[in-house]
């Protein structure tokens, strides 16, 4: 009888441990990624060169904070879209010079 009671507590401890590992490897990284995306979306400003999730390259010419949209100017014209549809900012990548490697 005592053996059955002792192993029951071990199963509960193992369940708690599995939940902790799942939280550590699945939920925390997703929360960090969502926080990073929210920060990126809020940092978008007029003049940024961006790429949308659909592959459209353009320059932000207007940002509307009230309804979370922006207007992007492309080669074909202007497109109004949600700020969450922007996947990458190219302004910082183009302005940073490439490092020169010294081969000796």
Instruction: List all residues 6 or more positions away from 88 whose beta carbon is below 8 Å from its beta carbon.
Output: 50, 51
Give the chain's domain count: 2
At 1 the pLDDT is: 46
Domain assignment present for 103 = no
Range of the domain at 1: 1-43
Q: Residue 58 burial by CB count (10 A; 0-12/13-18/19+): exposed, middle or buried?
A: buried
Please give the span between the terminal C-alpha atoms of the chain, in angstroms, as a whole number. 76
Residue 35, pLDDT > 90, answer yes
Task: Check whether residue 54 and residue 89 sit in a common domain.
Answer: yes
Task: Check whether residue 92 and residue 54 sit in a common domain.
Answer: yes
pTM for the model: 0.62
Task: Check whether residue 52 and residue 87 sit in a common domain.
Answer: yes
59 band by pLDDT with thresholds 50, 70 and 90: very high
Task: Check whether residue 19 and residue 59 sit in a common domain.
Answer: no
Task: Check whether residue 62 and residue 27 sit in a common domain.
Answer: no
Residue 11, pLDDT > 80, answer yes
Tell me the average pLDDT across 57-82.
93
61 band by pLDDT with thresholds 50, 70 and 90: very high
Torsion-angle region of 77 (φ positive above 0: left; ψ -120 to 50: alpha; else: beta):
left
């Amino acid at each position: 009888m005592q053996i059955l009671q002792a192993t029951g507590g071990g199963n509960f401890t193992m369940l708690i441990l599995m939940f902790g590992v799942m939280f550590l490897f699945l939920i925390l990284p997703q929360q960090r990624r969502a926080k990073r995306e929210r920060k990126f979306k809020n940092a978008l400003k007029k003049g940024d060169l961006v790429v949308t999730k659909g592959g459209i390259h353009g320059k932000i010419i207007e940002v509307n904070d009230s309804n979370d949209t922006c207007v992007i100017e492309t080669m074909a014209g202007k497109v109004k879209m949600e700020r969450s549809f922007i996947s990458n900012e190219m302004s910082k990548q183009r302005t940073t010079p490439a490092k020169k490697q010294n081969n000796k």
